[in-house]
Amino acid sequence: MPIFQALEKAVDQSPPTLTKLLKKFTLPDGSLLAKDELVTAYTQLAGTHDLAPFSEQVIKQLRMKPIRTLSGVTPVTVLTKPFPCPGKCIFCPSDVRMPKSYLSDEPGAQRAERNWFDPYLQTSNRLQALTNIGHSVDKIELIVLGGTWSYYPAAYQVWFIKECFRALNDFGIKTDQTAVEAQYEAMSYQLKQMQLHAPTADPATNQQNLKSAKINGENITQTYNQVVSELYVKPEKLGGFDQYQTAAWAELVAEQKRNETAKSRCTGLVVETRPDCIDEDEVLRIRRLGCTKVQLGFQSLDDEVLRLNKRGHGVKEIRQAVKLLRLAGFKIHAHWMANLYGSSVAKDKADYVKLFADPDFRPDELKIYPCSLIQSAELMQYFKSGKWQPYSREELLEVISFCLENTPPYCRLTRVVRDIPSTDIVTGNKTTNFRQLAESFLSSQGKSSQDIRAREIRSTKFDSARTLIEEINYQTSVGQEIFIQVVNQNKIIGFLRLSLPHEATFVDELKDSAVIREIHIYGQAQDIGKTELDKAQHFGFGTQLIERAKILAAQAGFKKLAVISAIGTREYYRKKGFSDGELYQHLVI
């Protein structure tokens, strides 16, 4: 009980003080009470035991990581199951408990493993955890990570996405107690299925098998693909597990339809894949799944570096993949790596310049991952033989600050340095807040990054009368791109990406259309239909941006405007006058 009284007092305190307070109330095993448990307890006990009645303010102040939803939507990341990957990249971790490239002690990966990599359970439990800590789960960006998406069996992909949508839809009807019960029943059914079809019935044996199957990058006797096929894929086939993880397109379409008006709507769907897995059919297929953005591993724009790192594709494939995705209106979220085998500080800088100087690339979003040395990666052999070594702190700072400084304002640097647990890094940089270090370094020289993330309005209040609409024009491999942004004193409140293609597209539905590739309004994610004064979302900026896009498209000679809408934004665009096509929505201008 004292914890709850202390909690009341803590309401006006900052998060570090709250952590201090929690340390005074450790659990019997010495661990701290999880903050989401604290919020749940507060929700249940407010108004009883001498506690004040429930207050939104309390929840707001207890919200642990408001930054997570300050980008306007709430991200929910789910991982696919461990499965072979066509890549043989020497820097890639081979943790056989995980889908390729992920490590079992990364927090997101642990969540996925706890949920048996089941999409329904992962999504449901994440929504619940986010709700418990006070986040809005009305607008969800669903990020599907793990290995190479396009390499998973087609039926698995349809099932995976269908289950994510089903979880969003079921969660939305939570206020009805019967629905809540049905949801948990459905979850335990899933769990039972997972247990029934696990590699062996005994979890201890599974653990042991996985431990002994650990891959040592210095002396690889079996590849990730071989071990994973043996441990998961083969038994699945024998046990019929893969038959259970399958769904028809019609089932997915039904869940998508439900999601259009669900409480938790999918406002963005992202998958990650390799450039050489992208062709016209694949682009259309991922669009049918409801995808709006693709994370694409560029890693380098130097053929020799790609070859040395055994990427299995060259720069030509990257150019082609970007072009096809652009022609279909997708947003492109690239991954680029520094410090790869065969590169250098000077080469990295030149490569980064090419990323934005060449119209064939110019990604919308970017993750910068300096190469880290992981024990299970083949790179260990190159390190041991002295062929490769990690950059010194000074070299890394030079590259990262150069990247920050040279990122154009239409690109969002979503991550700088991968958040790998330091215990997994054999040697090299273990600092995960490298972005801050590089920003401070730049600032000491009177410079700064102008990328989107550095300028986001977040929870800052602003004077709506002093906002401006600005446009940035640039060329891409398919035509002209206009980045229309709403700004207030160099802070970005929202933006729209308008594509004015001059290349003929293979997507019938988009022929002769200008395409809205993205609309994003920043600020704390708001419940659908709720307006909080001075905060960016629901301020009518979306409408202003669409109106401007109509004018610009018409001026460029287009008579039609299409949008690559996410399933959960279809209603929004219908209200703005767009009509449904097969995979896109359209407006005559």
Binding site for ligand SF4 (CB under 6 A): 85, 87, 89, 92, 100-101, 147-148, 274, 297
Q: Least CB distance from residue 274 to ligand SF4, whole Å?
A: 5
The type of residue at 231 is L
Q: Least CB distance from residue 316 to ligand SF4, whole Å?
A: 17
Q: Least CB distance from residue 92 to ligand SF4, whole Å?
A: 3
* H/E run at residue 334: strand 331-338
Q: Least CB distance from residue 566 to ligand SF4, whole Å?
A: 25
Q: Look up residue 229 and give its DSSP letter.
A: I
Q: Least CB distance from residue 78 to ligand SF4, whole Å?
A: 16
From the DSSP assignment, how many helices (H) and strands (E) are in the chain? Answer: 23, 14
The residue with its CB nearest to ligand SF4 is 87
Q: Least CB distance from residue 91 to ligand SF4, whole Å?
A: 7
85 vs 318 by CB, closer to ligand SF4:
85
Q: Least CB distance from residue 147 to ligand SF4, whole Å?
A: 5
Q: Least CB distance from residue 377 to ligand SF4, whole Å?
A: 9
Dist CA 177 CA 72 (whole Å): 29
128 vs 222 by CB, closer to ligand SF4:
222
101 vs 115 by CB, closer to ligand SF4:
101
303 vs 470 by CB, closer to ligand SF4:
303
> At residue 136, what are phi and psi to the nearest 5 degrees?
-75, 135
Dist CA 376 CA 148 (whole Å): 18
Closest CA to 370 of 404, 335, 405: 335
* H/E run at residue 537: none
Beta carbons within 8 Å of 422's beta carbon, 6+ residues apart: 430
Q: How many CB atoms lie within 10 A of CB 206?
A: 15
Q: What is the SS3 assignment for 514?
A: strand
72 vs 146 by CB, closer to ligand SF4:
146
Q: 191: which 2 tokens?
A: 């769990």
Q: Least CB distance from residue 500 to ligand SF4, whole Å?
A: 33
Cβ atoms of residues 225 and 97 within 8 Å: no
Q: Look up residue 351 and give its DSSP letter.
A: H
Q: Least CB distance from residue 297 to ligand SF4, whole Å?
A: 5
Sheet holding 331-338, edge to edge: 74-79, 139-145, 265-273, 293-299, 331-338, 365-370, 412-416
Q: Look up residue 78 and give its DSSP letter.
A: E
85 vs 227 by CB, closer to ligand SF4:
85
With b for 16 or more beta-carbon neighbours within 10 A and e for fewer, the 44-61 pattern comes to: eebeeeebeeeeeebbeb
Q: What is the SS3 assignment for 370?
A: strand
Q: Look up residue 556 and give its DSSP letter.
A: T
Q: Least CB distance from residue 312 to ligand SF4, whole Å?
A: 8
Q: What is the SS3 assignment for 221?
A: coil
Closest CA to 99 of 284, 273, 217, 340: 273
Q: Least CB distance from residue 272 to ligand SF4, whole Å?
A: 8
Which residues is 334 bridged to in the sheet? 296, 366
Q: Least CB distance from residue 334 to ligand SF4, whole Å?
A: 13
369 vs 558 by CB, closer to ligand SF4:
369
Question: What is the DSSP annotation of 386-454?
Answer: TS--PPPHHHHHHHHHHHHHT--TT-EEEEES----GGGBSSS---S-HHHHHHHHHHHTT----SHHH
Radius of gyration of the chain (CA): 24
The type of residue at 501 is P
255 vs 424 by CB, closer to ligand SF4:
424
82 vs 329 by CB, closer to ligand SF4:
82
228 vs 498 by CB, closer to ligand SF4:
228
* Orientation angle between helical segments 35-45 and 15-23, nearest 10 degrees: 90
Q: 269: which 2 tokens?
A: 């769907």
82 vs 523 by CB, closer to ligand SF4:
82
115 vs 299 by CB, closer to ligand SF4:
299
Strands 468-476 and 412-416, sheet pairing: unpaired
272 vs 518 by CB, closer to ligand SF4:
272
